[in-house]
Amino acid sequence: MKGIFPIEKFRELRTPFYYYDTKVLRDTLACIKKEIGRYPNYNVHYAVKANANPKVLTIIRESGLGADCVSGGEIRAAIKAGVAANQIVFAGVGKADWEINLGLEYNIFCFNVESIPELEVINELAAAQGKVAKVAFRINPNVGAHTHANITTGLAENKFGISMQDMETVIDVALTMKHVKFIGLHFHIGSQILDMGDFVALCNRVNELQDRLEARHILVEHINVGGGLGIDYDHPNRQPIPDFKSYFSAYATHLKLRPHQTLHFELGRAVTGQCGTLISKVLYVKKGANKQFAILDAGMTDLIRPALYQAHHKMENITSDEAMQTYDVVGPICESSDVFGKAVDLNGVKRGDLIALRSAGAYGEIMASSYNCRELPKGYTSEELV
């Protein structure tokens, strides 16, 4: 065992694979529970899109969090892991009829609706099932977030949500419908946000919108502010548990929640990000004209974030104590974007060494693909490998 990894066990497994440290996950969940415990009307729905590995989902469900789903498949995964249907919210800009029907059959807590055409379909399908669907409107707050452009969602130019100027119209339409019940407002400004000021800007916008609605005597039971809290990719060991205290207290301080209201969160990355590591084997060390490459058996098919968002995942050679050298760390896929990092310092690398790509528990395994007819990576928990 070097550091935090059971290397002897790793040697028995086919690489690449995801490794989930359940102590980190459980400690993270305990911290969330402790911090939201201070606010009786706060509720966290784990964003299943970040990681739907059944073992990970089950641990999250055991901690009592609900689920934020964006597809029928995610609703099924959440239900299978034991999440109560009345703790499931269902978001997404393009919900298919079968997915809406599934949500209705399970009587999920709420549909986060993104357009009038979608609202009409939900009303129709609910009528056919003889039900009333609870809906919240996802409002695009036009609040920027200091994060990568591909994961900013709350700007007017993004496809998500209903624009602020249409908010009252949409609510008026919903109030005329017999098979939907308007219960709340939903927001989400982006992901991997570390500047609490961005969340404060969202709170200010929510306050404005609430005042506007109250002037028209429209009362909202639930406010859902989405997710977005980021993690420290550069130093996964320094602060493995994100700063939930500052996060929730930013909302407690700045969001003017009415006494009867419940505040909902949809955290994904902050829950699972730091517990996961992609473990990969070095196939070859190749000398180039002016650099050397460490060629791994993991590629962008196993972890796409570096190729897609120029994301940085800290890399460590967990089987070498040799002096540091500099490598371009790449995968085997036939794409020049299949690069995990350039000029990365690693303990001297040789064929067969194991490289850990850290902070990969969110949007890692779940975004894997079988491009090049590759097998999907498996996921193991630390509890299985003792």
Give the span between the Cα atoms of 47 and 38, in whole angstroms.
22
In whole angstroms, the minimum distance from the beta carbon of 138 to ligand LLP comes to: 7
Tell me phi and psi for residue 5, to 5 degrees: -115, 140
Q: Among 228, 240, 306, 341, which residue sits at the site for ligand LLP (rule: CB under 6 A)? A: 228
Stretch that binds ligand LLP, among 196-204, 227-235, 321-329, 351-359 (CB under 6 A): 227-235
Q: Binding mask 358-377 vs ligand LLP (x if CB under 6 A, - otherwise)?
A: ----xx--------------
Nearer to ligand LLP, 137 or 327 (CB): 137
> Which among 314, 319, 299, 329 has a CA at the least distance from the CA of 360?
314
C-beta separation of 304 from 369 below 8 A: yes
Q: For residue 336, what are the contacts with CB-CB under 8 A and spacing of at least 6?
A: none
In whole angstroms, the minimum distance from the beta carbon of 336 to ligand LLP comes to: 21
Cα–Cα distance list, 146 to 197, 251, 287 (Å): 10, 18, 38
Tokens in use for 162?
């209903």
Q: Among 266, 302, 338, 365, which residue sits at the site for ligand LLP (rule: CB under 6 A)? A: 266
Residues 69-98 that bind ligand LLP (CB under 6 A): 91
Q: Per CB under 6 A, does 50 bind ligand LLP?
A: yes
> Which among 264, 267, 259 has a CA at the least distance from the CA of 86?
264
Q: Among 72, 141, 184, 227, which residue sits at the site for ligand LLP (rule: CB under 6 A)? A: 227
Q: Among 68, 198, 302, 365, which residue sits at the site for ligand LLP (rule: CB under 6 A)? A: 68
Q: Per CB under 6 A, does 305 bind ligand LLP?
A: yes
Identify the DSSP state of 159: S
Give the span between the Cα atoms of 360 and 276, in whole angstroms.
5
> Which among 265, 363, 310 has a CA at the least distance from the CA of 150?
310
Give the span between the Cα atoms of 369 and 364, in whole angstroms.
10
Stretch that binds ligand LLP, among 186-194, 198-206, 288-296, 329-337 (CB under 6 A): 186-194
Stretch that binds ligand LLP, among 3-11, 78-86, 123-131, 266-274 (CB under 6 A): 266-274
**Chain centroid offset of residue 115 CA:** 23
C-beta separation of 152 from 140 below 8 A: no
Stretch that binds ligand LLP, among 76-84, 114-122, 222-230, 324-332 (CB under 6 A): 222-230
Stretch that binds ligand LLP, among 75-83, 239-247, 260-268, 315-323 (CB under 6 A): 260-268
Residues that bind ligand LLP (CB under 6 A): 47, 50, 68, 91, 151, 153, 188, 191-192, 226-229, 266-270, 305, 309, 362-363
